[in-house]
Structure 1
Amino acid sequence: MHETLKKVLGGLMRRYQERVPDVEAIIEAMLREGIIENREQIENDHIAFRTMGVPQLGIASFEKIFLHYGYRKQEKYNFEGKKLNAFWYAPPSPEFPRIFVSELRVHELSEVAQRIIYSYTDEVQSDPVDDLNLDNWEEVDAFLHKALWRLPTLEDYERLLQESEYAAWVIYNRYYLNHFTVSIHSLPEGYDNIQGYNDFLERNGFKLNDSGGKIKKSPDGLLLQSSTVAEMIEAAFAEGKKKTISGSYVEFAERKVLPAYGHLQKSEIKRQHRREGFEAGNADKIFESTYTTQTLKREAVK
């Protein structure tokens, strides 16, 4: 089962890196500055997916894939303003990343937005995950990168963008990997804290999401996160229309050692000694890495 999971995650990361040039650029900068000796040294804290909260899709459908591979469902999060629910999933063993899955509460949107979304998602008549052989990694890999509904029109995309940038992102991007996350605390001294790593990123020309500040900090002070502003991609819409829209981004997380384990040397610290889980306040601002309030700033500095 672990080998199947490795191949599924490998397929996700391969396409994600092709689609998000920042990933390779950040890795190259880390190699250039001697932060890492090879790319295998980068620890992936978590990966994230966005879904539409409709009966045959959403979290209830998507999670079946990773629960099959041994992931364990953890806390639920509610993002009131963005009309989102989310859960995170603990991996079957420490070498795998955590998974964060969110869904849009479609029924809370305006009737116009709901009508647009359902016109696409209703093309999926039943839960598509039920038809997958989850032990066949190639089948799962293909599913995670295929279109679940027809190509949206630019008009529909722009109407959704006015009301829910999350909805607009999903209607076009579907299940594309939204982001992967570099574990900062596992890096060498000087780069193993979020401020030091952010300084490195900005020194190398990467634009950071500054919604709520460049560093998002949990109330207990033990989870610190930052992220790049999403890459802009040229999107082809129905009827041959094109528009530059928000794609995916890269996140960075520093999980501090829990007070009970403060006496341990860095070489002794394992995943279980650090702050676990997520923080709704942090994630709420990280979501905005794909929002126009951030992407317009990225475009402005080019």
Structure 2
Amino acid sequence: MEKIFARSSVSLLFNRSSQTRRSHLLLPFVSLPFSGASHRRITTSNLSSVTMSVRSDAVVDTHDHPKGSETFFRTVISNMEKVYLNRNPTAKAILDLVQSHDGDNICYDHFAFRTFGVDGYGINSLAEFFMDFGYTPREELRFPAKKLKALWFSPPSDSSSNSNGTGINGSLPRVFISELIVDQLSSESQEVIRKYIKTSGIGKKYASLASMCGGLTWEKPSFSDYQVLSRESEYAAWTLVNGYALNHVTISTHRLKSEIRKIQTLNKFIEESGFKLNSEGGILKVSPDGLLQQSSTVADSISFTFADGKTDIVPCCYIEFAERLKLPQFKDLPDEEVKEFHRRDGFEVGNADKIFESTSKDQLTRNVA
């Protein structure tokens, strides 16, 4: 087998043996009963800041994944999507609405997850699953006011082979994983989070499994503990009750075929259909270069029964929309010849910071004029 011994490269093994790395591919699938300057390029010198393992003697296999592994991978993320849609009727309704208007042209720009950045439960608890299937870590983003950091991952270079498919069966999405920097919270909030992480045992090893079945890896929280986190960090409170569940999916608007492929037209179409969009920083969030334009709905809410018997309404998931415009060097390229690599890639802190507010109390309780 051809191998490259990459000095100071990202360890795809996360300090696991080669045998362990591949063992999850052998698990049988069980059907589940579902009804800018602000970001920086990831290098070996800063990967430690996002808790990625770096090892000077990492072994990187240059061969493709075993035949059938992509099918397994798509089955897993399909079940993540099923949990998400089951919890978020707004997303399901909007996907149906867009499909009825535009046909089977829906492609996902990215999937997003939230995590606790403590004791290995942060970004890399989910990242290793995606990296095992060919995803590559790209850029880190920081959100100091929210005490968050994030890392996004690009899909395998051959994932566009299904570019004619739709949704999960189309081109594989980017992955955006954020984590709460728990050590920067108050001692009271840290104590709450660490208490539940402790009940999880080795749950961080099963983050992707928790995401696809919709369960928490830690014990169900009490209402009083949820309130403690809510007062300091809505992100922390959301993660406590939702765990590794898919936070949102994003429709790639420029891949649509009708007039709603322009995000501002899509926003108007969605609002006129009775859905509420996140207004933080304006309905349309635009990167400084003007090439990444995003919007999102306000999150749905669900009834959650806490461990102490108290039932309350908590924020759940939402759906996002992203239009990536052509890079300047390709501005004269005819639209019919434009591929995804001709468009603006990556994410923008300013945009993402406002998108996070889709689950905030201010947005959930905002009245629409």
Instruction: Tell me the TM-score normalized by structure 1.
Output: 0.91
SS of residue matched to 1:77: strand
* Conserved? CA contact 1:56–1:124, under 8 Å: no
* Conserved? CA contact 2:211–2:244, under 8 Å: no
Say whether 1:268 aligns with 2:357.
no
Cα deviation, residue 190, structure 1: 2.3
Question: Is there any run of 5+ residues in structure 1 with no aligned partner, and where?
Answer: 133-138
Distance 1:31 1:4, change over 3 A: closer
Cα deviation, residue 140, structure 1: 3.6
Cα deviation, residue 10, structure 1: 0.7
CA RMSD of aligned residues (A): 1.8
Q: 2:277 aligns with which of 198, 205, 208?
A: 208
Say whether 1:20 aligns with 2:95.
no
SS of residue matched to 1:167: helix
Q: 1:101 aligns with which of 173, 177, 181?
A: 177
Match for residue 240 of structure 1? 309
Match for residue 97 of structure 2? 29
Aligned-pair identity in percent equals 43
- Would you identify which runs of 4 or more consecutive aligned residues in structure 1 move more than 6 Å? none
Distance 1:180 1:107, change over 3 A: same
Cα deviation, residue 127, structure 1: 6.2
Say whether 1:44 aligns with 2:108.
yes
Cα deviation, residue 239, structure 1: 1.9
Cα deviation, residue 141, structure 1: 6.6
Cα deviation, residue 5, structure 1: 1.2
Aligned residue type for 1:259: P
Distance 1:126 1:37, change over 3 A: closer
Q: Partners in 2 of 1:75 and 1:242 — Cα distance?
A: 39
Question: Is there any run of 5+ residues in structure 2 with no aligned partner, and where?
Answer: 1-68, 161-170
Distance 1:141 1:103, change over 3 A: closer
Structure of greater Rg = 2
1:146-185 to 2 correspondence within 5 Å?
Answer: 146-185=215-254
Size of the aligned set, in residue pairs, is: 289
Instruction: Tell me the TM-score normalized by structure 2.
Output: 0.75
Match for residue 135 of structure 1? none
Q: Partners in 1 of 2:275 and 2:256 — Cα distance?
A: 19
Q: Partners in 2 of 1:177 and 1:60 — Cα distance?
A: 15
* Conserved? CA contact 1:56–1:125, under 8 Å: no
Distance 1:96 1:295, change over 3 A: same
SS of residue matched to 2:261: coil
Distance 1:288 1:8, change over 3 A: same
1:1-302 to 2 correspondence within 5 Å?
Answer: 1-32=69-100, 34=101, 36-38=102-104, 41-92=105-156, 93-94=159-160, 95-126=171-202, 128-129=204-205, 140=209, 145-297=214-366, 300=367
* Conserved? CA contact 1:11–1:141, under 8 Å: no
Cα deviation, residue 143, structure 1: 6.2
Q: Partners in 2 of 1:74 and 1:30 — Cα distance?
A: 30
Which range is displaced more, 230-239 or 143-152?
143-152
